[in-house]
Amino acid sequence: MKAGFLALLLVLVGSATAFAGTCMTDTYNNYDSPPGFACTITDKTFSNFFYSTSGSDHMPDTSITVTPIATLNNPGLLFNAPWSVSSGLHTQDSLIGFTVQVNPGSSSLITDLTLLMFGAGFTGTGGVSVAETYCLGDTFADACAHGTTGTLFTFLNRTGSKLSDQVYFGGVKEVDVMKDILLSAGDSGTAVLSGVENLFSEVPEPGSLAVLGSGLFCLGSLLGKRLFA
């Protein structure tokens, strides 16, 4: 009975992934609001979308546009919004989270994670930062108990700038990310930000490379025999 239930559960999970539609350019409320919403880019499924906002100047999820990035072997998501704060100790804090999983049957592994921010600017005491916490091989639903955690960080303020960050790791099938987008005006400044992007590079699994290499070797041998026959 238990074995049958587990088999049915695996089929249902696989079916949910298989039936996830292609990610489309849309406002973020259509990603984070429908319970269980998921969509695909190439052979990746993006799901578990989360959003919260805080600070003196809130950014609603209806003002954030999500654009899928379907670059070969480097898919991801771009988030655009008119984030901005002005002087008077104003702040704007947006928390965006989601999970990326390699679809069942795919031979690829996620091998690095890139965080970029675009259209950032400041004056005076203002500043922009994006702090991203990631979980490799698990999700934050169980506090990444079976995975590996780490952080990426980008910023722009009067002390300096770092507009992109990247981490490389051994291939995994699942990555969970939670990014904290923070704008602060300080007592006499301004800050703006128009875009934040996540990219997830991929490579074939070692077993797939071995099969490919074996196939190429056999093909080369066959061609060689025909050439010198």
Whether the per-residue pLDDT at 222 is higher than 80: the answer is: no
Residue 191 CB contacts under 8 Å (≥ 6 apart), including other chains: 83, 84, 85, 120, 121, 122, 123, 126, 127, 128, 183, 184, 185
Average pLDDT in the 145-172 region?
Answer: 98
Average pLDDT in the 140-166 region?
Answer: 98
Q: Looking at residue 206, what is its pLDDT?
A: 66
Label residue 63 by pLDDT band (50, 70, 90).
very high
Higher pLDDT, 66 or 217: 66
What span, in angstroms and rounded, lies between the C-alpha atoms of 91 and 86?
8
3-class secondary structure for the chain?
CHHHHHHHHHHHHHHHHHHCEECCCEECHHHHCCCCCEEEECCEEEEEEEEEEECCCCCCHHHCEEEEECCCCCCEEEEEEEEEECCCCCEEEEEEEEEEEECCCCCEEEEEEEEEEECCEEEECCEEEEEEEEEECCCHHHCCCCCEEEEEEEEEECCEEECEEEEEEEEECEEEEEEEEEEECCCCEEEEEEEEEEEEEEEECHHHHHHHHHHHHHHHHHHHHHHHC
pTM reported for the whole predicted model = 0.83
Label residue 34 by pLDDT band (50, 70, 90).
confident
Label residue 212 by pLDDT band (50, 70, 90).
very low
What span, in angstroms and rounded, lies between the C-alpha atoms of 197 and 42?
17
- Average pLDDT, whole number, for the chain? 86
Label residue 5 by pLDDT band (50, 70, 90).
very low
Give the tens place of pLDDT for each residue, 88-128: 899 999 999 999 999 999 999 999 999 999 999 999 999 99
Higher pLDDT, 146 or 5: 146
Label residue 211 by pLDDT band (50, 70, 90).
very low
Whether the per-residue pLDDT at 71 is higher than 90: the answer is: yes
Label residue 20 by pLDDT band (50, 70, 90).
confident
Q: Looking at residue 223, what is its pLDDT?
A: 42
Average pLDDT in the 174-200 region?
Answer: 98
The gap between the terminal CA atoms of the chain, to the nearest Å, is 60
Q: Which residue has the tokens 């009975």?
A: 1
For residue 82 the two structure tokens come to: 């008119």
